[in-house]
Structure 1
Amino acid sequence: TQKRIELAFGSKPEAFIKELVSVAEALLPPNRAELWKHRSLVRDFLKLGTRNVSSGPVTKVGEPSVRLDELPVLTTWHEDGGPFITLPLVYTENPITKKHNLGIYRMQVYDSRTAGLHWQIQKGGGFHYRAAEEMNQSLPVTVFLGGPPALIVSAIAPLPEDVPELVLASLLGGEKLRITKHPVGGAHRLVAEAEFALVGHAPPHERRPEGPFGDHYGYYSLKHDYPVFHCETIFHRRDAIYLATVVGKPKQEDFFLGDYLQLLLSPLFPLVMPSVRDLWSYGETGFHSLAAAVVRERYPREALVAGFRILGEGQLALTKFLILTDSPMDLRDFPRLLEHVLARVRWESDFFIFSNTSMDTLDYTSGKVNEGSKAILMGLGRPVRELPREFRGQLPTEVTRAEVFCAGCLVLTGAPYLRDPQQANRLAREPALEEWPLVVLHDDASVAASTTDFLWSTWTRFEPAGDIHAAETNVARHHLAYRAPIVIDARKKPTLPDELIVRDDIAKLVDRRWREYFQQ
């Protein structure tokens, strides 16, 4: 929860980042007075990084035999392909540059010594593995379980490639991260305060089926081939605590951690991307499905420059749908943002769909893995239209319900996709919908009553190039110019994996034993 995150980290990391940004801006050009004014920052800088210690709690016990299957690994959803380690802090180093990556990549335990490594595209550990594989070498891998809360959060952080996660961990923890040598000379040093350290390697050119797995998008990601971790040694604390998390339809633990990291790192965005004033990714959509930014528009189409900059930055490159405005506002208030943009967008020039792009591995809306499309929607300057706030027309054929999500956005209950796959295309030319800039076709329009439900059920169920329709589309100067209404088909498609739904018997079991799990 938000309260527990505040208890774990307090306000100091956020204050440090803000002061760091203000110093960076004030010291251009450098001057002695500003340096002296922020001298306390130097002391904080000295606490960043790692500190070598002779030994640590994690090395107190070295298991004589490796038994991954004896760890209390969870099978969290009933259609999962097996038990998964859900909070593994996977540490690797680039075999050429030796720069490190610490990331959380789920691991399906196959047997006593092997587990899958779910290295998705655009992930640092996967880049390291590819470099090693091209050299026909195994990649040393160390998996930490547990440890300082700051270490776990830093592994989730969407840092640019080669920016060290261990430095962020020391910033969040307020002290240098203690590191100790591998007792028998392994490839990596060990985080001294971790609960477990699983030491091993990933051989080149070896793949095994991994999945299905109920993931944070709220669906089962399907079975695919991934690299394999071979565990050689297990170290752990005495009376070690096994850490795990359960992911699923938002909002879960990862949602609150993701929002905390966005708030923490948001002051850095204008520093590294000067045309971007604010940025927010929506955890309700799995983060990568939807993001919005406040950008600068100091000359014509500068906003588009900012959009391309965002889509070229680290894990932000996986963003599927990006909304841009040049008006300062709280991007977390999505209904207000969408109203603002819909009142200003010129569909013929401010809406872009890019086909044949990469897409997040967990997003199956295109029907292909890692492939799909992206969209940029811009609402800049002054309003160009009044937005409707109430639907007064007659429901089109095969539409059984209409609900307003916000001014300008109408949500409809349509026919099942398999029965009428072309319904969204026809609705874009429906006279009763002409005054609505944006129409979203759903299996159940009641999702409009909740921002969380609307965001999740819309942006996890459509792919821009395949599921967006317009009243009219013209080609001019190699640009697609659209005429509203724009209809998003967010009905469930056959390519979409099964939604994560809690079984009634499991829910009743948890309710019955709740006080046993969480004693007051």
Structure 2
Amino acid sequence: KVPPHKRLPEGPFGDHYGYYSLKHDYPVFEVEAIFHRKDAIYPATVVGKPRQEDFFIGDYLQELLSPLFPLVMPAVVDLWSYGETGFHSLAAAVVRERYAREAISAGFRILGEGQLALTKFLLLTDKEQDLRNFKRLFEYILERVDWESDFFIFDRTSFDTLDYASGQINLGSKAMLIGVGEQKRDLKRDFSTSHLPQGVKRAKVFCGGCLVVEADSYEADKQLPARLASATEFDEFEVVVIHDKLEYADSSDKFLWATWTRFNPSTDVYARGVRLKHNRICYESPIIIDARMKPWYPKEVEAREDTIKLVDKRWKEYFPS
């Protein structure tokens, strides 16, 4: 039974975002009896930092349901949510651009569809892409985005309960980035300088147009993103992501997880220029994303050493070759 209005504290638990969920009040299930057969199999999944079992289940469900997306959302050709980010933190779509700015309406349609309404960051383009190839997709969009008219941030919107980037529960912000039409620019693909701005330790190109920098902690230098937005060293890059560790630029898996689970668009995105034109906000690149760990973020999920040793010891027993 589930008594109405009855709530009790639950948590913290290691969850599929790769962090420990905080303690919250949740509905109470009152169990009167449990029935089981002999040698019962208990269905469960192991969750934690992607990729775990739930990652592959989520991807498989997307593959099964993807043919239905164009039926319920006619302007959407293809859609993919990235399990590396916990699914809700980042999604990308190929949409129809049959008339000017149709991509915007398609984006709003996606953000209004069921669980997709919890999407934090949405990437949109109008040419067929392999959406699983994030680096290539991101480059394609960065080659075409007009920062004055194709980047939108919406504050005070719904937020996934397990996403703590905003510092609030179930409340945060969303962003939509559009790259459609013909290529507007060639992307910078290398970075070498003997001088880095104050607070930056190292830098590495993640993909064309996107630079990752390792910097001082958020608590040590909260003003760093604003300074980097005006730093001339990064003029040739479209996006600069600030991280605590440079290793997050080593692979798409690491970059996706550590970036999109650690920033809230309305409070952690900065730009070289921000101005108001015809009651809309226009941005000027480079765009700075502060994806450093913040004091209110929960801890990363880490396996206990004794558990690791036990699994390693009995692995062949569990899964004989």
Normalised to the residue count of structure 1, the TM-score between the two structures is 0.61
RMSD: 1.1
1:467 paired to 2:253: no
Partner Cα distance (1:507, 1:233) in 2: 34
Which of 376, 382, 392 aligns to 2:176? It is 376
Q: What amino acid does structure 2 have at the position aligned with 1:440?
A: V
What count of residue pairs does the alignment treat as equivalent? Answer: 320
| Alpha-carbon contact 1:403-1:446 (below 8 Å) kept | no
| Alpha-carbon contact 2:203-2:211 (below 8 Å) kept | yes
| Alpha-carbon contact 2:199-2:221 (below 8 Å) kept | no
Return the offset for 1:513.
2.3
Partner Cα distance (1:206, 1:466) in 2: 34
Q: Which residue of 2 aligns with 1:219?
A: 19
Q: Which residue of 1 aligns with 2:185?
A: 385
- Residue deviations 1:324-364 (CA, integer Å, cap 9, x gap): 00011100000000000001000010000000101000000
Bigger Cα Rg: 1
Q: Point out the more displaced range, 238-247 or 416-425.
A: 238-247
1:352 paired to 2:157: no
1:279 paired to 2:79: yes
Partner Cα distance (2:39, 2:84) in 1: 37
1:479 paired to 2:280: yes
Q: How does 1:30-41 map to 2 (within 5 A)?
A: none
Unaligned stretches of 5+ in structure 2? Answer: none
Return the offset for 1:519.
3.6
Which of 417, 424, 431 aligns to 2:218? It is 417
Q: How does 1:78-117 map to 2 (within 5 A)?
A: none
Partner Cα distance (1:326, 1:314) in 2: 23
| Alpha-carbon contact 2:14-2:20 (below 8 Å) kept | yes
1:302 paired to 2:102: yes
Return the offset for 1:397.
1.5
In structure 2, the residue corresponding to 1:497 is in which secondary structure?
Answer: coil
Q: What amino acid does structure 1 have at the position aligned with 2:55?
A: F
Q: Share of identical aligned residues, percent?
A: 64
In structure 1, the residue corresponding to 2:18 is in which secondary structure?
Answer: coil
1:445 paired to 2:246: yes
Q: What amino acid does structure 1 have at the position aligned with 2:309?
A: K
- Residue deviations 1:434-480 (CA, integer Å, cap 9, x gap): 11000000001221111100000000000100100000100112211
Structure with the bigger RCO (C-alpha within 8 Å, sep 6+) is 2
- Residue deviations 1:141-173 (CA, integer Å, cap 9, x gap): xxxxxxxxxxxxxxxxxxxxxxxxxxxxxxxxx
Q: How does 1:251-330 map to 2 (within 5 A)?
A: 251-330=51-130
Greater than 3 Å deviation, 4+ residue runs: none
Q: How does 1:6-21 map to 2 (within 5 A)?
A: none
Q: What amino acid does structure 2 have at the position aligned with 1:416?
A: S
Return the offset for 1:288.
0.2
Q: Point out the more displaced range, 223-232 or 497-506.
A: 497-506
Partner Cα distance (1:239, 1:280) in 2: 38
Partner Cα distance (2:203, 2:112) in 1: 38
Q: Which residue of 1 aligns with 2:2?
A: 202
Q: Which residue of 2 aligns with 1:494?
A: 295
